Amino acid sequence: MKWTDYLFTVLFVIILSGTFFILIPLHTEYHRARQEKRELRQELLQQELRAHQLRQELRALRNDPATVERIAREKLGWSREGETIYHFEYTEEEE
């Protein structure tokens, strides 16, 4: 083989090695970005579901008197006339 053949082979190996050193980090970054995209899409779907649930709850609070009554009973401790409400308090020893 001539020295030019060796030179061509060495240059080819250098170029090929350089290409791998450039492409490997890019390939890793590409896969990381794809995984992040999947995670963000999943989070977006969860947030959209939560927003849908909140819209339904808001619609019920605006239009359904039974829902308003239930919330008032649960959150505010309200009762109807003649009803008795019992509140139980637990100490740490009982739990």
pLDDT of 87 > 80? The answer is: no
DSSP state at residue 82: T
Q: Would residue 87 count as lying in a domain?
A: no
Indicate whether 7 belongs to any domain.
Answer: yes
Judge whether 56 lies within some domain. Answer: yes
Asked whether 61 and 71 are in contact (CB, 8 A), the reply is yes
85 is a domain residue: no
The region that residue 38 occupies, defined by phi over 0 for left and psi between -120 and 50 for alpha, beta otherwise, is: alpha
In a domain, 51, yes or no: yes
pLDDT score for 1: 67
Q: Write the burial class of residue 66 (CB in 10 Å: 0-12 exposed, 13-18 middle, 19+ buried).
A: exposed
Asked whether the predicted pLDDT for residue 85 surpasses 60, the reply is yes
The structural domain count of the chain equals 1
Give the mean pLDDT of the chain: 88
Structural domain of residue 42, as residue ranges?
3-76
- pTM for this prediction: 0.56
